[in-house]
Amino acid sequence: MAFSEHDIYQIFLNTRPQIHNFVRQRIRCQDTAADLIQDVYLRLLLLKPPPSSEIEVRAWLFTVASNLSLDHLRTQKRRGELLGQYLGGASEIDETAVPERAAHAHDQLQHIQSALAELSEQCAEILFLSRIEGLSHLEIAAQLQISTSWVEKQLAKALQHCRNAVASDEF
């Protein structure tokens, strides 16, 4: 016998403290763990077909919580790598040129933000998923239900558009 939505939500509520502890230990941040638990709750509607036992529901809840926490950790790692890549080490900083560099970086940022605003919604989403979330072309294609070649074309288009915006700033 399959559980009703009410039964599944009740199991979630009863299991929530254990899931929260599980995620908090992995993420090491109380607030982020709470956000991820909300994401687990929102995904309850995706639980198809309805499970036939409480053990199946709990297993699904912990699996989703585990996957969400891993995705979060990967995203944080990727953001850290990007910051390290683009900001560089402290030894690369020329203290005498900091105001000029800051002004130039601010101008570049404005040009890039304008360029991003000009992209189509799908093109911008593909760029975000690739460069910020760190997803592969295949993962993006599956998530957006489009072909891998379309992901590659849109990503190339977005990157070229941003390069052109920065290049036009330098002349």
pLDDT tier for residue 1 given thresholds of 50, 70 and 90: low
Verdict on whether the full-model pTM lies above 0.75: no
| 37 falls within a domain | yes
Distance of CA 106 to the CA centre of its chain: 25
CATH number for the domain spanning 55: value is 1.10.1740
| 39 falls within a domain | yes
pLDDT, residue 94, reads 53
54, 80, 106 - which closes a domain? 80
| 88 falls within a domain | no
Asked if residue 116 lies in contact with residue 108, where contact means CB atoms within 8 angstroms, the answer is: no
pLDDT, residue 171, reads 46
Same-domain status, 155 and 122: yes
| 73 falls within a domain | yes
- Residue 17 phi, psi dihedral angles, 5° rounding: -60, -40
On the question of pLDDT at 147 being above 90, the answer is: yes
Degrees to nearest 5, angle at CA 52 with 62 and 60? 10
pLDDT tens for 99-127 read 776 777 777 777 777 888 888 889 888 98
Structure-token pair, residue 67:
């996957």
CATH number for the domain spanning 162: value is 1.10.10.10
**Between the CA atoms of 147, 149, 151 and 152, what dihedral angle is there, to the nearest 10 degrees?**
170
| 142 falls within a domain | yes
- Expressed as residue numbers, the domain containing 23 is 5-80
Mean of the per-residue pLDDT values for the chain? 83
80, 104, 138 - which closes a domain? 80
Q: What's the structural domain count of the chain?
A: 2
Same-domain status, 16 and 47: yes
| 44 falls within a domain | yes
Q: Is 56 helix (H, G, I), strand (E, B) or coil?
A: helix
pLDDT, residue 96, reads 57
| 12 falls within a domain | yes
Bond into 49 cis (ω within 30) = yes
pLDDT tens for 40-56 read 999 887 888 878 888 98
Task: Give the best-scoring range by mean pLDDT among 35-39, 44-48, 80-84.
Answer: 35-39
| 87 falls within a domain | no
